[in-house]
């Protein structure tokens, strides 16, 4: 019997994934990551966490009759998620901490712990699918059948080895209501639990305040400038702004202004009009090709998503000599932000993805 480690957040999705894997005949172990050093014991079936989410996960495991562990991963979380989040804002980028958490913790540290426990698979409640293509001789990452919940965008970094040992049971469900109904049918305690929408370490959404407190530092004011360098006001520190932002600028101008760029080197924030927000191309670094064993030598036609919930647009992607990828859009795209992920698709299959420069 194959052994599977179920990454459990305490929500209905990961709990349903555990249920499905157990019903499919897998020898399951439920695991919750303690990301905030809240006191969970490590490698103990009696482990508990003061966080209610960990308690919910434990309750589900008791219901299913499977072992439950809490792994203290707070040091890794601080180093690979929070520190990267803060540093990205400090360097003028707009990060996606959920991608870093998935890459470094769930499919990094937790993936290695699964191997230590003799698990063949790691399982999460993500809405995505994994398939092996015999023609390509490649493991492929595909969109969920539930288009509204598809999470393939935040999983673009997965390697062939990881894909071969990962299962996403919820990818085959066309509607979230089916998942809740399944959980309720089997008496899972979190069948109707609300979904979490906020960044877990910034629950009030005030990321600038979080960064100041995390660093125990203030960030200097500087100049708002136009694209041609004219000073038109003062900003409150570059960490307070994101590309495309309009509200909260405190600038009176002849037409609405938006944040176009953040320049840390001279501590300026460039403002411009709506039409100046659009770009016809971008360059991405740290690119991971899933469909190809090596970067394609010729430009390829793809569909592109530049933000998690952005609509896809047609584009041509070409690999550069330094390993970066240049993507040229069929139509200009709004508010392209350095630090965000760009993910390429061919139909329902992820071609690859990287970080916008």
Residue 240 DSSP label: G
DSSP string, 252-295: --SS--EEEEEETTTTEEEEE-GGGGEEEEEEEEEEEESS-SS-
Continuous H helices in 93-146 = 97-101, 110-116
Q: d(Cα 159, Cα 132) in Å, to the nearest integer?
A: 13
Q: Starting at the edge strand that comes first in sequence, how are the strands of the sheet with 3-7 ordered?
A: 68-72, 27-34, 3-7, 121-123, 166-167
* Neighbour count for residue 193 (Cβ, 10 Å): 18
Q: d(Cα 100, Cα 119) in Å, to the nearest integer?
A: 23
According to DSSP, the residues that pair with 128 across neighbouring strands are 143
Catalytic residues: 101, 200
According to DSSP, the residues that pair with 344 across neighbouring strands are 304, 352
Q: d(Cα 209, Cα 97) in Å, to the nearest integer?
A: 16
Burial annotation 168-188 (CB, 10 A radius, 16+ → b, else e): bbbbebeebeebbebbeebeb
Q: d(Cα 246, Cα 259) in Å, to the nearest integer?
A: 7
Burial annotation 284-320 (CB, 10 A radius, 16+ → b, else e): beebbbbbeeeeeeeebebbbbbbeebeebebebebe
Q: d(Cα 293, Cα 82) in Å, to the nearest integer?
A: 32
Q: d(Cα 144, Cα 154) in Å, to the nearest integer?
A: 12
Q: d(Cα 292, Cα 351) in Å, to the nearest integer?
A: 8
């Amino acid at each position: 019997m194959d052994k599977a480690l179920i990454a459990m957040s305490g929500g209905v999705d990961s709990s349903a994934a555990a249920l499905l894997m157990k019903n499919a005949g897998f020898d399951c172990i439920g695991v919750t990551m303690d990301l905030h050093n809240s006191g969970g014991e490590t490698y103990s079936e009696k482990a508990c966490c003061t966080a209610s989410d960990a308690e919910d996960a434990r309750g589900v495991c008791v219901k299913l009759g499977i072992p439950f562990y809490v792994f203290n991963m707070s040091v890794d979380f601080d180093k690979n998620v929070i520190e990267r989040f803060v540093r990205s804002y400090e360097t003028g980028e707009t990060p996606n901490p959920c991608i870093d958490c998935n890459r470094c913790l769930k499919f990094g540290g937790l993936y290695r712990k699964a191997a230590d426990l003799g698990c063949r698979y790691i399982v999460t409640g993500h809405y995505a699918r994994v398939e092996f293509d015999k023609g390509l001789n490649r493991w492929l990452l595909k969109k969920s059948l539930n288009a509204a919940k598809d999470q393939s965008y935040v999983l673009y970094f997965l390697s062939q080895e990881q894909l071969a040992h990962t299962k996403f049971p919820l990818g085959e469900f066309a509607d979230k209501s089916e998942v809740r109904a399944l959980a309720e049918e089997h008496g899972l305690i979190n069948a109707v639990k609300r979904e979490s929408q906020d960044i877990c370490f910034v629950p009030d959404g005030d990321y600038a305040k979080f960064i100041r407190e995390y660093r125990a530092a203030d960030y200097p004011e500087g100049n708002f400038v136009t694209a041609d360098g004219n000073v038109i006001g003062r900003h409150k520190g570059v960490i307070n702004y994101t590309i495309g932002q309009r509200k909260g600028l405190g600038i009176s101008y002849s037409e609405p202004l938006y944040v176009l760029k953040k320049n840390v080197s001279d501590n300026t924030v460039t403002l411009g009009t709506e039409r100046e927000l659009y770009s016809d191309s971008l360059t991405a670094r740290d690119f991971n090709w899933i469909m190809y064993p090596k970067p394609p030598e010729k430009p390829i036609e793809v569909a592109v998503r530049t933000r998690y919930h952005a609509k896809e647009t047609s584009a041509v992607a070409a690999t550069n000599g330094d390993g970066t990828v240049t993507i040229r859009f069929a139509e200009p795209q709004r508010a392209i932000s350095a630090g965000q992920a760009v993910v390429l698709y061919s139909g329902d299959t992820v071609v690859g993805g990287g970080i916008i420069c």
